[in-house]
Amino acid sequence: MEKIKQSLTLLLIIFFMFFSSFAQGHKNYIVHVSKTHKPPIYGTHHQWYISILTSLPPPHDTKKLLYTYQHSFHGFVAHLTETQALILPNIPGILKVAQERTGYLHTTRTPDFLGLTELSGLWTNSNYGEEVIIGVLDTGVWPESESFNDDGLSPVPEKWKGECMSGPDFPVSSCNKKLIGAKFFVKAYEAKYGAINDSVQSRSPRDTDGHGTHTASIAAGSVVKNAGYYDLVRGEARGIATKARVAVYKICWAEDCAEGDILAALEQAVDDGVDIISISIGRGSGLEYDDDAFAIGALRAVQKGILVTCSAGNDGLKTKKTPEHVAPWILTVGASSIDRDFRADVILGDGTMYRGVSLYSGEPLGPSYYPLVYAGNHGHRLCAGNSLSKAVKGKIVLCDGGINSNSQKARVVKEAGGVGMILANNLYTGPGGPADEHVLPATMVDPTAGNTIRNYIKSQPSGNATIIFKGMVIGGNPTIPAPLVAQFSSRGPNRVTPEILKPDLIAPGVNILASWTGASIPPLKFNISSGTSMACPHVSGIAALLRKAYPEWSPAAIKSALMTTAYNADNTGKTIRDFTTLNESTPFDRGSGHVDPNKALDPGLVYDLGVNDYIGFLCSIGYTESRISVMVHDQNINCSTVGLASPGDLNYPSFSVVFKPATNKVTQRRVVKNVGKSENVVYDVKVSSPPSINIDINPSRLVFSPEKQILSYEVTFTALGDQTKDALPEFGWIEWSDGFHRVRSPVAFTWGKGSVASI
Ligand SMILES: *[C@@H]1O[C@H](CO)[C@@H](O)[C@H](O)[C@H]1NC(C)=O
Ligand SMILES: *[C@@H]1O[C@H](CO)[C@@H](O)[C@H](O)[C@H]1NC(C)=O
Ligand SMILES: *[C@@H]1O[C@H](CO)[C@@H](O)[C@H](O)[C@H]1NC(C)=O
Ligand SMILES: *[C@@H]1O[C@H](CO)[C@@H](O)[C@H](O)[C@H]1NC(C)=O
Ligand SMILES: *[C@@H]1O[C@H](CO)[C@@H](O)[C@H](O)[C@H]1NC(C)=O
């Protein structure tokens, strides 16, 4: 066996000595090494790795050993030729050699997952959003973070009217050509909670929480070489609109984000001249528009041409909880997973393996197996506070998921003397799921694996196990299905106005690496976090790129481009699934689909809207002129002149149809504008409808000409047969295409039980 291997190696060497004179490109390789194979003559693993590398055929370069790892896995990353990488696996002790995927893609990953490249598409067509200003309303910013370096940026845009508040904890030097503005809003908060205690939080734009620094760096973080999270991820990190400018408005403090401060910050951002506003902060679902500071402030922003992007909320499938920020003038973003995992697999004594995820980054378990016990037999199945008996000492403990937090369970196991923890989640947590930091070697497996492991313990009282920490895995084998709608992402229907489908779309929000506050314990430059809070700034960054590419587009046109070009199939070609159930997701979960930046650059048609349309919409849902004037105070409002026949007539890029009792027919109107390269173009419509509903479009062909760049159509939805009022929601879609562009809108059907607003 050994012999065959050697001759094969020799053959390869000969082949590559010939070949490598043509292609002597170096690439980064991740080399997994068996810890115990280190020959005793080497004092450290590092010395051993250097000697391995010098034993390879030339060229030799002392700098090719880039990193040595000893925590999440054993091994190193080296810059090697293909020939060298091919020979490496034959050296005793080398377990696996894998080519690293290009630079930054490894670290932040999401730009690559979104299809953004340096070669073509939205990045190159927008010069990375240079000159565009993104206002981030959040917990402030850690200005020293490398994500806000301004290397190579042009001067601060002239239109910028904002300022950088300085003070003892926020020197003038905190701002630069990247972080062009920073302000804090605390009056309303202090009125409510008393004066800020400076020794606990910073009375300045400084972020002592981490959330604001994370979201701002996702939207517009500059390129940072050698970023990482412990040893789990290393490489280049970057935001979406790498050259866009950031203006930070700190509105959230230890207890709360006060409504007065929110409104003041929104006003300020508009006056300062931002182009995009990104809000990853919620106030709960179900708020009326004129009772919601975000909706009120956002309408004014939209009136001034500023797009407002908000997170949909993290209420997942909880009943009665629905998306937040549902105003039709806001772009509402749900969260999805990407094709990357932080893998930590369980191997049982019987040799079976179960996929798990973990952000644990300390010393891994030794190579041997440890006795495995179930927490339910030794105190409390949930590993709740101080519940475990000392019998778990030196053992791996299987805890059930739910109730108390995952990281608390790990602390309880550690305090009882356990060496490791396997968390059997009560929801599907498999590939692509959010991973947690832990105080001891711990991983999380999905319910099916949890059941199998529980049964193994029952049948093998002296059973054993180990956890193998594999670090970051992209793509995976079998493939990590992606995107999936994240389990925590808030789902429709829209409780405030059922005729508007929300969320609008989904974007990456699971295990996102971005900058963090330096005030954290331990201090972290970068951290991994999950939530719709992380999804929103991805879309804010993409919107900034589109704003740069099309300076004349309205916020609604940008939003339309993002929605009608979103995709709905995952990397296996099937409809995007829901993480929790692995069932197909619906437009209530994913809205128009997953954002597709490069497609949004060329949407073909857009559904445009202006502030008068929103006023007409508010009239149509029964708001009086005086209620509306609370939100729009610089113009006279007369609902009998601007009102829409129904809220469903708002020129929205998606459809939500509510069949009221005794009505089986609903008609909605839309207007589309040709924004494609050709003025003479013909679009035909295609629909998909559930069997119980008929969709009729008139006209079904739109012929655009230089004189006619804006055309309208009417859709009639007819429910066939007898629909009981308890009927489940149904879904379909409408797609206009000229053979090249596909302008697609999802349709949701629900059956109202009385008034329009009660669903
Ligand atoms: C501020 O917080 C510190 C630390 O918790 C505490 O010792 C101090 O008494 C607080 N000051 C006031 C005025 O509350
Ligand atoms: C673990 O369990 C397997 C299967 O029962 C057994 O063969 C092995 O010896 C055990 N290892 C340890 C370290 O107990
Ligand atoms: C990193 O982020 C996670 C998720 O937001 C948080 O729970 C954790 O406390 C953060 N780590 C530090 C050191 O602040
Ligand atoms: C998922 O699909 C299965 C099979 O079609 C179905 O029985 C189950 O109710 C679905 N789960 C949810 C939460 O919709
Ligand atoms: C609103 O418009 C209608 C129709 O043009 C008009 O009759 C009415 O007087 C207007 N109301 C106000 C308050 O201006």
Domains along the sequence of the chain with CATH: 2-99 (3.30.70.80), 105-335+483-600 (3.40.50.200), 340-474 (3.50.30.30), 605-609+651-751 (2.60.40.2310)
Q: What is the pLDDT of residue 102?
A: 34
Q: Which ligand has the minimum distance to the alpha carbon of residue 584? A: 4
Question: Along the chain (759 residues), what's the average pLDDT of each consecutive run of 10 residues?
Answer: 33 33 58 80 86 84 65 66 84 76 48 85 92 97 97 96 93 96 93 87 94 97 86 83 97 87 91 97 86 90 96 83 93 94 89 90 83 91 86 92 86 92 80 83 91 93 90 79 92 94 97 93 89 96 98 98 97 92 93 97 98 96 91 87 93 95 91 97 97 96 98 96 73 97 97 50
Distance 637 CA to ligand 5 centre (A): 9
Ligand 2 in contact with 368 (CB < 6 A)? yes
The answer to whether the CB of 256 falls within 8 A of the CB of 550 is no
- Residue 507 has what pLDDT? 97
Task: State which ligand 5 atom lies nearest to the alpha carbon of 638.
Answer: 1
Identify the DSSP state of 581.
T
716 lines ligand 4 (CB under 6 A): no
Q: What is the pLDDT of residue 155?
A: 97
Q: Is the CB of 464 under 6 A from ligand 2?
A: yes
Q: Which atom of ligand 2 is nearest to the CA of 350?
A: 4
301 alpha carbon – ligand 4 mean position (Å): 41
- Identify the residue whose C-alpha is closest to ligand 5 atom 14: 638
Please choose from 348, 369, 370, 396 the residue to mutate so as to test ligand 2's pocket, defined by most ligand atoms within 8 A of CB: 369
pLDDT in tens, 24-48: 467 767 777 877 788 888 888 888 8
pLDDT, tens digit, for every residue of 297-320? 999 999 999 999 999 999 887 767
Contact between residue 532 and residue 334 where contact means Cβ atoms under 8 Å apart: yes
Pocket flag, ligand 1, residue 198 (CB < 6 Å) = no
Q: Is 195 in the pocket of ligand 1 (CB under 6 A)?
A: no
What are the CA-CA distances from residue 174 to residues 145, 153, 206, 249, 420 (Å)?
A: 10, 16, 9, 14, 43
Atom of ligand 2 nearest to the CA of 460: 5
Closest-lying ligand to the alpha carbon of 642? 5
**Of all atoms in ligand 4, which is nearest to the CA of residue 580?**
13
Kindly give the number of the ligand 3 atom that is closest to the alpha carbon of 521.
Answer: 13
Largest Cα–Cα separation, the chain? 90
The DSSP bridge partners found for residue 227 are: 235
Neighbours of 459 (CB within 10 A): 9
Q: Which two tokens stand for residue 413?
A: 């196991």
Residue nearest to atom 5 of ligand 4 (CA): 583
- Residue having the nearest C-alpha atom to atom 9 of ligand 2: 349
Ligand 4 in reach of 582 Cβ (< 6 A): no
Spell out the residues 6+ positions from residue 270 whose beta carbon is closer than 8 angstroms to its own: 297, 300, 301, 304, 306
* Residues within a 6 A CB radius of ligand 5: 638, 640-641
pLDDT of residue 625: 92
The protein residue with its alpha carbon nearest to ligand 4, atom 12, reads 581
What's the rounded Cα separation, in Å, for the pair 405 and 407?
6
Nearest CA to ligand 2 atom 6: 349
pLDDT of residue 717: 97
* Active-site residue set: 138, 211, 533
Q: Distance from the CA of 138 to the center of ligand 2, in angstroms?
A: 52
User: Which pLDDT belongs to residue 2?
Assistant: 32
The atom of ligand 4 lying closest to the CA of 583 is 1
Q: Are strands 512-515 and 526-529 parallel, antiparallel or unpaired?
A: antiparallel
Answer yes or no: is the C-beta of 197 below 6 A from any ligand 1 atom.
yes
Helix axis angle, 211-220 to 532-549, nearest 10°? 30
* Ligand 3 center from residue 517 Cα (angstroms): 10
Residue nearest to atom 9 of ligand 3 (CA): 520
Ligand 5 mean position to 371 CA, how many Å? Answer: 81
698-729 burial: b if 16+ Cβ within 10 Å, else e: eeeebebeeeeeebebebebebeeebeeeeeb
- Asked if 517 contacts 213 with a C-beta cutoff of 8 angstroms, the reply is yes
Atom 7, ligand 2: residue with shortest CA distance:
349
Q: What is the pLDDT of residue 429?
A: 64
Q: How many Å lie between the centroid of ligand 2 and the Cα of residue 461?
A: 12
- Nearest ligand to the C-alpha atom of residue 193: 1
The Å distance, Cα 348 to ligand 2 centre, comes to: 9
Backbone angles phi, psi at 549, to 5 degrees: -70, -35
Which pLDDT score, from 0 to 100, does residue 27 have?
Answer: 72
